[in-house]
Amino acid sequence: MGKISVIGAGNVGATAVYYIAERNLGDIVMVDIVEGVPQSKGLDFLHSSPLRQYSVQIFGTNNLKEIAGSDVVIFTAGIARKPGMDRMDLLKTNARIAQSTARAIVRYAPDAVVVTVTNPLDVIAMVLLRETGFDAGRIVGMAGVLDSTRFRYFIAEKLGVWPGDVRAMVLGGHGDSMVPLTRYTSVGGFAVHELLDTATVDAIVEKTRKGGAEVINYLKTGSAYYAPAASAAKMVESIVRNERRLLPASVYLNGEYGYDNIFLGVPVILGKTGVEKILELELTDAEKIALDRSALAVQNGVQTLDSLYEEKIL
């Protein structure tokens, strides 16, 4: 059985541990800087195992050395968004946490595939790539799966159908500029535009873009965690079981879709080595313009990141 480490035992990290355990994907190490938190949650999960029928080991610790030998590391550590806060407002704090964590991954888990969940996701993925020096395919961001599953749910809700029958693809950065591809969205094999009128589909697209903010506005003091954790766990399953699933994910682009030196959400095949292939879809002019806009938002974030390096803040 493989080993999966989760950095951050907050709501997202702990919930991801639960989903991973439920699927019996591997033994799990949960790391957090707050003493007692990962240990207590680890024990609580283990006490549930006879009822939930998982047989993995779950170990909570404050020591990053315990990630040694991990096949996959999920990075969820950092502060969460608050009402009115843009994802880029998080960059300075979370980039520092990513920087120190990346160095620990290099030291203790040099063969791991790294799945990042922390926001601003596409820029934090860049920090992890730079600081680890890993092959680009071993650093992958979770957002596309999350954005797509929200899109799928909203369509299923509108039609009153089982959400699992909906297939969707969302490209671009993890933020308000994401690009849901309605042409590649279907329900039970039927194109979504055959089932819903354009105005309704457009409204669902906008609701998808605001899905995370809607949760934050209700919570006031936190952000979404059930759906992000489930999305990360789905990616881990594809990696550790070498399922080679075709999923949207934030990956490093080197010429694909006409972009260089940024992480952006695109369809990929995800297997045991990480990103095995990036698929380039034929986009309409309108879709490419929307993706360009999304890429520009990510590039602006990378420029801010570069300034932090230049000013020796990182």
Catalytic residue among 3, 41, 150, 174: 174
- Report residue 223 as tokens: 């952000």
Q: Token pair 């929307």 is at which residue?
A: 290
The C-alpha torsion from 209 through 214 and 215 to 219, rounded to 10°, is 150
Q: What is the Cα 218 distance to its own chain's centre?
A: 22
Confirm if 123 and 91 have CB atoms less than 8 A apart.
Answer: yes
End-to-end CA distance of the chain: 37
SS3 253: strand
| C-alpha distances in Å from residue 280, one per residue of 61, 146, 256, 265, 267 | 41, 20, 7, 11, 7
Eight-state DSSP code of residue 262: E
Q: Token pair 């922390």 is at which residue?
A: 118
- Report residue 66 as tokens: 């315990």
- Is residue 47 part of the annotated active site? The answer reads no
Q: Cβ-count burial of 310 within 10 angstroms (0-12 exposed, 13-18 middle, 19+ buried)?
A: exposed
Is the bond preceding residue 120 a cis peptide, omega within 30 degrees? Answer: yes
Categorise residue 166: left if φ over 0, alpha if ψ from -120 to 50, beta otherwise.
beta
- Pick from 1, 18, 34: nearest CA to 233: 18
- Report residue 56 as tokens: 């993995």
Would you name the residues annotated as active-site residues? 174
